[in-house]
Structure 1
Amino acid sequence: MKRILIALTALAVAGPALAQEPLTLKIGTEGAYPPFNYYDSDRNLIGFDVDIAKALCEEMGAECSFVAQDWDGIIPGLIAGKYDAIIASMSITPERDEVVDFTNKYYNTPPAIAVPKDSDLSEATPEALSDIIMGAQGSTTHANYAAQYFPDTELRRYGTPEEYKLDLASGRIDAAIDDVVVLSDWLKTEDGACCKILTTLAPDPEINGPGAGIAVREGEAELIEKFNAAITAIREDGTYAEIQAKYFDFDVYGD
């Protein structure tokens, strides 16, 4: 009887402690999409996505670690259980929503086209961009946008943004399409001094979706609720604005 009482007492003490164990999450990101997610000189993952992820984890009381994953395998990695959520500037699209679930958006910026400074291009119409070569990162909304709206443009898909940037700077392609923030950030660098923004583009809701969200495996409604509540909280308490100010001088959340 004494042993039973001791065991019950131990369970009563341990129960609350077990219930208070923090949420542990692995966050998947790309690490090749500055200024949103990339490596610093010491090979630390940094960027807007990373800082937002850390803030959300702190708000949720979660212990989070990061896993870097190439973009073309980032959704398969989530589905396979390599990590629990993707925070990597992933646009919420109907196509992706068929295989993963999304939180609310945490930012929304438009696509844009960059060209060499000496380019003869002056507008982004299907006619003006016909018979040119445009680069885009593969498996992105930007590549899909180019294929849909500029059907006579030769579209080259690259594994990373760095690859199309190199080809644009060296004259192997005539234009590139990506997020306006990504392109604008690159143009401020020595390598990006070659080029300029031709124009920003009106997003297509069916292609670009309502913005970038956090992807989780299907059926994890409780985790989505936690992330959504945390997104609201960091926007209301000023944390979001503080992180945004580190990277941008304008509102990236959108309407």
Structure 2
Amino acid sequence: MKKNLKAFVAAAATLALSAALLAGCSGGGDAEKPANSDNGGAADAFTLTVGFDQGYPPYGYVGDDGEFTGFDLELAKAVCEKNGWGLKLEPIDWDAKDALIASGSINCIWNGFTMENREDDYTFSDPYMYNEQVVIVKKDAGMSALEDLSGKIVLTQVDSAALHVLESSEEGGQAELAATFKELQTIGDYNNAFMQLESGIVDAVACDLSIAAYQMAAKPDAYVKLGVLAPENYAVGFKKGDTDLAKQVTDALKALDEDGTVKQLCEKYNEQGITYDNWVL
């Protein structure tokens, strides 16, 4: 009886070893690796998840074909291709961006993102594009200077750089100017802000120069820039302390400038208000 039992155990062990060897040779374990359509299926390749406002042309928006496009999104794609990364574009609620980057749902904010006055909250790439906060009014509004906004309704995006400038009483802030407004209102996106300006619901929109240039290029006879609230720069924002990723993106952007890619993208979006003259990296 003992001999039969020993023989049975030995045979079972031999069968188990043979099955394991066959499984190892078959390569069946590859099926457990996560697929990534953006990086050719390489399971261990890094994927850059870019958080952006999909209503922020010309930097990030939905194109006529229904696909996400824009100057910054194409820059992000070029950086990922250069570094061998996957790319995931994640449209976000702009008001939720801090929570999303803190949780790791996105690992950067790349969408005409002003770095000034946000340095304590994010780690940034080197600045790559010069920008300004400006005020836009209708051409026939009869206003020619920022002082003419006294008693007017001014609209800007929630949690925007323009809002920060208009609420700040620190050096470079425009709280004194805002105190002369009839009202300073906020809205979720600039497309709707300009719709309200066009319809006469508000008297002015405070926004980025690039947004203003896009809107004025689309309707050259409708709007005029009233004045500059503050100069600033765009950079890519990362979770605080993520310095390695910020440096890799900066280095890739410099390389893309050297090989002419940046200039080509600027020319592609020139009619939408982008100019290579404002590239600062």
| TM range, smaller chain | 0.7 to 0.9
**In the alignment, which of 159, 166, 173 is matched to residue 139 of structure 1?**
159
What per-residue deviation string (whole Å, max 9, x for no partner) do you get for residues 38-60 of structure 1?
Answer: 00133211000101111111121
Distance 2:52 2:43 in 1: 28
Aligned partners of 2:137 and 2:226 also within 8 Å: no
Give 2:73's aligned residue.
Answer: 50
Give 2:14's aligned residue.
Answer: none
**In the alignment, which of 193, 211, 230 is matched to residue 203 of structure 1?**
230
Q: Secondary structure at the match of 2:236?
A: strand
1:106 is the counterpart of 2:110: no
1:161 is the counterpart of 2:183: no
Gaps in structure 1 of 5+ consecutive residues: 11-18
| Aligned residues with identical type, % of pairs | 23
Give 1:221's aligned residue.
Answer: 243
Q: After TM superposition, give the deviation of residue 238 of structure 1 in Å.
A: 0.7
Distance 1:75 1:240 in 2: 28
Q: Secondary structure at the match of 2:180?
A: coil
Distance 2:180 2:78 in 1: 43
Q: Secondary structure at the match of 1:43?
A: coil
Give 1:252's aligned residue.
Answer: 278
Distance 1:179 1:220 in 2: 26
Structure 1 20/68 Cα, relative in aligned 2: closer, same or farther at 3 Å? closer
1:129 is the counterpart of 2:157: no
Q: Secondary structure at the match of 2:197?
A: helix
Higher relative contact order (CA 8 A, sep 6+): 1
1:212 is the counterpart of 2:234: yes
Q: After TM superposition, give the deviation of residue 20 of structure 1 in Å.
A: 10
Aligned partners of 1:123 and 1:198 also within 8 Å: no
1:170 is the counterpart of 2:199: yes
Give 2:34's aligned residue.
Answer: none
Distance 2:43 2:245 in 1: 16
Give 1:183's aligned residue.
Answer: 212
Distance 1:187 1:93 in 2: 25
Gaps in structure 2 of 5+ consecutive residues: 1-16, 26-41, 168-172
What per-residue deviation string (whole Å, max 9, x for no partner) do you get for residues 156-204 of structure 1?
Answer: 1111112211110000111111122212211333xx4663223341625
Q: Secondary structure at the match of 1:35?
A: coil
Give 2:101's aligned residue.
Answer: 78
Distance 2:254 2:120 in 1: 25
TM-score (norm 2): 0.75
Structure 1 164/232 Cα, relative in aligned 2: closer, same or farther at 3 Å? same
Distance 1:198 1:238 in 2: 31
Aligned partners of 1:114 and 1:195 also within 8 Å: no
Aligned partners of 1:37 and 1:48 also within 8 Å: yes
Paired letter, 1:162? N
What aligned pairs does 1:58-77 form with structure 2 within 5 A after superposition? 58-77=81-100
1:90 is the counterpart of 2:106: no
Structure 1 60/124 Cα, relative in aligned 2: closer, same or farther at 3 Å? same
Distance 1:86 1:146 in 2: 23
Distance 1:200 1:234 in 2: 33
Paired letter, 1:152? T
Structure 1 194/110 Cα, relative in aligned 2: closer, same or farther at 3 Å? same
Aligned partners of 1:169 and 1:194 also within 8 Å: no
Q: Secondary structure at the match of 2:279?
A: coil
Q: Secondary structure at the match of 1:90?
A: coil
